[in-house]
């Protein structure tokens, strides 16, 4: 499969569960990939693992602090130095401090908004000139169920992920004339280490740990299609959105949630 042959993709958060699934999918489809992440050890490991899939395309790790403009500049510079162009960006990272609305700490609020929303803007702004030089671009922002519904215990996270809707649509409108597309993918209950380690359980809140069988079954009961999503489910959609198969799709807000938000 070579839907992404000769493309150069930056996958931020590429060392995470969902991000690393994107790396594998993109490499298998022929893309050269930069894994941009703050976790150097895991980023290099994933780059090494994925380098075995193909002798024709490359996978490299580059350190990224997503909230730092200079770090983004170094990322773009190293990518151009290595591959000569940038044509795809996947923003696949986030943070959260789970606090009830009335107890929301302002410092934590600002941190969450900075990481989950402001840094995505910084990255897009930095890379737009390189997409223009390439003659096209596909930007894929990874949101959440929280982009589409509220959560009583995560007001800041919900605000940040909802904000990605506006940023995605604004980006799509602003740069359509340059053949730069921007879409938002909203994963549902994805089986990752993040939710397996989320032990702050409330039976009325969808954001609960799945290590406990009660919590696992509670999540499943909310999913019409009857199973949790996998990181690969998310990466499959992003791969399509990165490819020319989706060249008339921009500004889309697409849920991969098994029907939770129907």
Domain boundaries, the chain: 8-189+231-256
pLDDT, position 86: 99
CB 15 within 8 A of CB 37: yes
Residue 157 annotated in active site: yes
pTM of the model: 0.92
Distance CA 84, CA 159 (A): 36
The residues, any chain, with a CB within 8 Å of residue 176's CB and separated by 6 or more, are 250
Give the Cα-Cα-Cα angle 233, 234, 240 (nearest 5 degrees).
95
Catalytic residue among 93, 157, 201, 216: 157
pLDDT, position 207: 45
Longest dimension (CA), the chain: 54
pLDDT, position 199: 47
pLDDT, position 196: 64
pLDDT in tens, 2-12: 999 999 999 99
Paired tokens of 55: 């002798």
Query: In 52-63, which positions are buried (b, 16+ CB within 10 angstroms) versus exposed (e)?
Result: eebeebbbbbbb
Paired tokens of 216: 């696992």
pLDDT, position 111: 95
What CATH number was assigned to the domain covering residues 8-189+231-256? 3.40.50.720
Residue numbers of the chain with a pLDDT score lower than 70: 194-212
Distance CA 47, CA 15 (A): 9
The residues, any chain, with a CB within 8 Å of residue 62's CB and separated by 6 or more, are 34, 35, 36, 43, 74, 75, 78, 79
Helix (H, G, I), strand (E, B) or coil at 59: strand
Q: State the pairing for strand pair 59-63/88-91.
A: unpaired
pLDDT, position 56: 78
Q: What percent of the chain has pLDDT over 70?
A: 93
Q: Which of 128, 187, 168, 186 is nearest to 250 (CA)?
A: 168
CB 19 within 8 A of CB 92: yes
């Amino acid at each position: 499969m070579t839907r992404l042959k000769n493309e150069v993709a930056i996958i931020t958060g590429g060392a995470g569960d969902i991000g690393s699934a994107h790396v594998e999918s993109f490499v298998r489809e022929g893309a050269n990939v930069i894994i941009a992440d703050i976790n150097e050890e895991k980023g290099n490991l994933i780059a090494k693992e994925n380098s075995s899939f193909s002798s024709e395309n490359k996978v490299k790790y580059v350190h990224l602090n997503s909230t730092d403009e200079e770090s983004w500049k170094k990322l773009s510079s190293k990518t151009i130095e290595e591959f000569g162009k940038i044509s795809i960006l996947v923003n696949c990272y986030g943070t959260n401090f789970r606090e009830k609305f009335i107890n929301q700490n302002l410092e934590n609020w600002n941190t969450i908004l900075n990481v989950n929303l402001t840094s995505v803007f910084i990255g897009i702004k930095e890379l737009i000139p390189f997409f223009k030089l390439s003659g096209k671009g596909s930007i894929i922002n990874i949101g959440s169920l929280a982009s589409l519904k509220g959560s009583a215990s995560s007001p800041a996270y919900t605000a940040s992920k909802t904000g990605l809707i506006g940023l995605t649509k604004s980006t799509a409108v602003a740069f359509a004339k340059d053949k730069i597309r921007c879409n938002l993918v909203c994963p549902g209950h994805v089986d990752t280490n993040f939710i397996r380690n989320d032990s702050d359980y409330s039976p009325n809140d969808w954001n609960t740990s799945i290590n406990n069988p009660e919590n696992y079954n509670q999540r499943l009961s909310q999913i019409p299609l009857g199973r949790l999503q996998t990181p690969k489910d998310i990466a499959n959609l992003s791969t399509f959105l990165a490819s020319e198969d989706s060249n008339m799709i921009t500004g889309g807000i697409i849920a991969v949630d098994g029907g939770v938000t129907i």
